[in-house]
Amino acid sequence: MKALKEAIEKYGVGIGTEVVKVDSFLNHRIDVALSTEMGKAFYEAFKDDRVDCILTVEASGIAAAMTAAQAFGNIPVVFAKKGDHRNVGNDVYTAEVYSFTHQKLNVIRVSRKYLEKGMRVLIIDDFLANGEAIHGLMDILNQAGCVLVGAGVCVEKGFQPGGRNLRESGVKVVSLAIVDAIEDGKIILREG
Ligand code: 5GP
């Protein structure tokens, strides 16, 4: 997606060889107009997949999930909660997710009442690196008997294996921008 790639080129910062920092517009301060465009792009990619609901994980996936849900005509967004939230209760599906950014294992939770059996669910997240977050969400969808229609991510890091592994296992993955490498702080985006 052109506008996202331009924003990454203009404002993104590469840290080391693996981390893309885009917190001036994507996951700390949010450029709402850009997020709205990303939501529309996810709609275009998945509009024929009969999506009932969007699933993401707190916190950074929520903005893109919401604008996508609006583009789909205000379908519900469910976000998995991290950590031990007493207010989620015990009637939950859980999965373990290793956090790439925080380098620790999180338990994510979704209340059972928000995922109905047979629901067609689109997963949205801000980043796809090793695929841990998306696998955790897929695990929860399996437990709930939901149908995964695919995964939409704002930024995929193509030099990490998450996207490739998901596609090889048959998941429809749509990334709005793919980073091929980080070289001396510069983010190298995939053409096309
Ligand atoms: P994965 O679970 O695919 O290994 O990593 C994806 C998750 O880790 C995303 O939810 C995102 O929040 C975080 N993440 C992974 N790589 C990056 C990165 O380079 N920059 C930022 N800002 N977040 C990342």
User: Hey, which of 11, 82, 101 would you mutate to test ligand 1's pocket, going by the most ligand atoms within 8 Å of its Cβ?
Assistant: 101
**Encoded tokens for 30:** 């949010």
Q: How confident is the model at residue 192 (pLDDT cuts 50, 70, 90)?
A: confident
For residue 87, the model assigns a pLDDT of: 72
Model pLDDT for residues 118-130, shown as the tens digit of each residue: 999 999 999 999 9
pLDDT score of 30 more than 80: yes
Nearest to 68 by CA among 154, 142, 140: 154
101 band by pLDDT with thresholds 50, 70 and 90: confident
Distance 167 CA to ligand 1 centre (A): 18
Sign of the alpha-carbon torsion through 129, 130, 131, 136: negative
Tens of pLDDT, residues 139-179 = 999 999 999 999 999 999 999 999 999 999 999 999 999 99
Cα 39–chain centre separation? 12
Would the pLDDT of 85 be above 90?
no
pTM: 0.97
Task: Read off the pLDDT of residues 109-118 as tens digits, 9 standing for 90 and up.
Answer: 999 999 999 9
Distances (CA, A) of 150 to 82, 134, 183: 22, 10, 31
Q: Please, which pLDDT band fits residue 100 given cuts at 50, 70 and 90?
A: confident
Ligand 1 centroid – CA 77 distance (Å): 20
pLDDT of 84 above 80: no
Confidence of residue 83 (pLDDT cuts 50, 70, 90): confident
Q: Which atom of ligand 1 is nearest to the CA of 128?
A: 3
Q: What is the pLDDT of residue 102?
A: 85
